[in-house]
Structure 1
Amino acid sequence: MILDGNDPSAIEAAARALRTGALIGLPTETVYGLAADAGNDAAVAQIFAAKGRPSDHPLIVHVADADGVRHFASEVPPFAQALIDAYWPGPLTLILPRLPGMATAATGGQNSVGVRCPSHPVAQALLRACARTDAALGGQPVWGVAAPSANRFGRVSPTTAQHVQDELGADLLVLDGGACGVGIESTIVDCTRGVPVLLRPGAVTREQIRAACGVAPLSKEDLPDHTPRASGTLEAHYAPAAKVRLMDAKALQTGLDVLGADAAHIAVYARAALRSQSSRLILRRMPDDAQATAQQLFATLRSFDDQGVKLIWIETPPATPEWEGVRDRLQRAAAAG
């Protein structure tokens, strides 16, 4: 059931559902999430079951504002507070020491918790409604919602309400907030090591992290031991049903020339102007801008699946900072094949 997220009655219906332990589909600026009360372990268990996600793979807790962190984290280091001040609300998740007894199921039993404050107006309206002490909404306030992407585990994340319904069924209450503006999941920074460690790239870049907290973030490869598990950091993830292969423009054109008019069941997504002799091939232009590519990436991969292709050939994104988030998602999608 898809409801208009701009309708106050839909927000109240979703808030009531969360307070009673139900799941809902929630738009954020990054991707749509499958949300449950982060403080309700039974409700959170339903997320893992619906997604087919391992219960030790932690979820991100979404809060209405910076003050919401105190309900889940026992400490906020100064450099983490600087990141909050600079980029919340926004597409940035911080891994912080977990407050004992809070969000146990959502964190997969770890002593750390991932928290972010989304900027999408529908997410903001819902989170604020959940945090209100309001008898009309029923139950106790919900200080935060656990909300991984609203898709089957390891598959392409949804960026529209229809994607969520197609993936998880018509019985789920989904708030429609339009197409997601960012299009790929949040940047994740581990703040439990005394220095920022970038666990997952996204719209907030390495340089922006450095500018906000005065120190360049390490990569997770720099600290391979005891790094907290985090959402979306498996080697193979974000994969469509079709097999994904990354190639440079020259290799793409060579492949198309070899196949010639026989090329079929293949989609090509590239910045380069490519030629094909086949009318059965799908050619789609990738934007030259990293932000625009991120916004349409998952919807594009889903559309290729919908058209029944077996292979997706993608031009490897540039190895430049602004493309890091897109490159990360495509490398994980290709690893799943």
Structure 2
Amino acid sequence: METKIIHPNNIKEAVDAIKRGELVSFPTETVYGLGADATNETAVKQVYLAKGRPSDNPLIVHISNKEQVNEFTNDIPEKAQQLMDAFWPGPLTLIFNLKDTSVLPSVVTGGLQTAAFRMPNNELTLQLIEQSNTVLVGPSANTSGLPSPTTAKHVYHDLNGKIFGVLDGGACQVGVESTVLDMTSVDGVPIILRPGAITKDQLSELIGDVQMDRHILSEGEAPKAPGMKYKHYSPNTPVIMINNQLNNWQEAIDFYRKIGKNVGILSSETTRKKLEDYTSFYKLSEIADVSEAMRHLFAGLRELDQPEKKIDVILAETFNEEDKGLAYMNRLKKAANQKFF
């Protein structure tokens, strides 16, 4: 079976496939998701198989209108309602307590009594969810552990032959996964489990105190949100982060070239102009702009990882871990397995 690239004009083909229990990748403003009917346990299990995803890693439920959350929870705090009104549709995922564990298959929740919900800011996907008359799971549509896909081409590369189709909505505008905010803490203070384009400051400005998760999962502990436990976003080519404050780009290039390594550069154009003697370059931004760099990070990791480029190591630009830089560095650190030069 060859995976179909589905044009937006043929959205009914994608809708019919979802209703049959098949898998269809859909575009969002963050990354491409791998869609299946969230109420169909058999279909959801196929998502794990297609991705090679650990089965205790919960999935985000994608909705087309805010009222759909009420089908699954009786516990929407006032702060959560404020966030939904302000940021939905958009790159914010909220975790709620479920009415009971029977409202969603355990393969969606990872066996937890909570579930994560998001209303993506993409009209094509909102139509897909609405016309499918259900809600959809939507983990990133890639082979588990590789950089997330931000184009239909990326999805096809990873999952051709494993899913029915890819609804092609063009390139994603944000480029990294949504902010995940846990609304179920005992003391009522929301906790950011995964940083994203919606920053801590934006959340705090609206609802007051918001905390960052500092908990490190034990070996047998189930994560409450995607991206908390497993190595993520890593290309096959090793990634090494360069601390821009140390300005040791050329030192790193010289070191790897001396030991016979072909070096790929993932940075702004401003940084590249200062360098010499590298093998290949992917431009994250014109200047060191974190929003633009975040949008192109996964595409850059994928581009420099192509075997024909024969790159042995990717040197990647870093940003201060504040505001959107926190989301960028969260992904890059996992892609680099925490390694700095």
Normalised to the residue count of structure 1, the TM-score between the two structures is 0.89
In 2: Cα distance, 1:84 partner to 1:125 partner? 19
Q: Does 1:42 align with 2:39?
A: no
2:156 is the alignment partner of 1:165: yes
| Partner residue, 2:137 | 146
Gaps in structure 2 of 5+ consecutive residues: none
> Residue 164 of structure 1: SS of its match in structure 2?
helix
State whether structure 2 residue 332 is matched by structure 1 residue 330.
Answer: yes
Does 1:3 pair with 2:3? no
Equivalent residue, structure 2, for 1:191:
183
1:11-160 paired onto structure 2 within 5 Å: 11-100=11-100, 101-104=102-105, 105-131=107-133, 142=134, 144-160=135-151
CA deviation vs aligned residue, 1:134-160 (integer Å, no higher than 9, x gap): xxxxxxxx1x10010001111110111
Given candidates 209, 214, 217, the residue that maps to 1:216 is 209
The TM-score with structure 2 as length reference comes to 0.88
Match of 1:231 in 2: 226
Q: Secondary structure at the match of 1:221?
A: coil
SS at structure 1 position matched to 2:311: coil
- Aligned residue in 2 for 1:136: none
Correspondence for 2:235 among 240, 244, 251: 240
Aligned mates of 1:305, 1:210 — CA distance in 2: 38
Match of 1:179 in 2: 171
Deviation, 1:335, is: 1.3
Post-superposition shift, 1:336? 7.5
Deviations 1:185-215 (A, max 9, x none): 00000000111100001010101111221x2
Q: Kindly tell me: are residues 276 and 219 of structure 1, through their superposed partners in 2, closer, same or farther at Cα, counting changes over 3 Å?
A: closer
What are the Cα deviations for residues 287-331 of structure 1, in whole angstroms up to 9, with x where unaligned? 222111111111111000113322111122123323111111001
Amino acid at match of 2:19: R
Equivalent residues of 2:178, 2:195 under 8 A apart:
yes
Judging changes above 3 Å, is the alpha-carbon distance between structure 1 residues 159 and 273 closer, same or farther for their aligned structure 2 residues?
A: closer
Change in Cα spacing, 1:260 to 1:302, as seen in structure 2 (3 Å) is: closer
Which residue does the alignment assign to 2:318? 316
The 5 A counterparts of 1:298-317 are 298-306=298-306, 307-317=309-319
1:273 to partner: Cα distance = 4.2
**Aligned amino acid, residue 131 of structure 2:** A
- Of 284, 287, 291 in structure 2, the residue corresponding to residue 286 of structure 1 is 284
Of all paired residues, the percent bearing the same amino acid is: 36
The AA in structure 2 aligned to 1:191 is M
For this pair of structures, how many residues does the alignment match?
Answer: 321
Q: Contact conserved, 1:11 with 1:129, CA < 8 A, in 2?
A: no
> What is the one-letter code of the residue matched to 1:121?
E
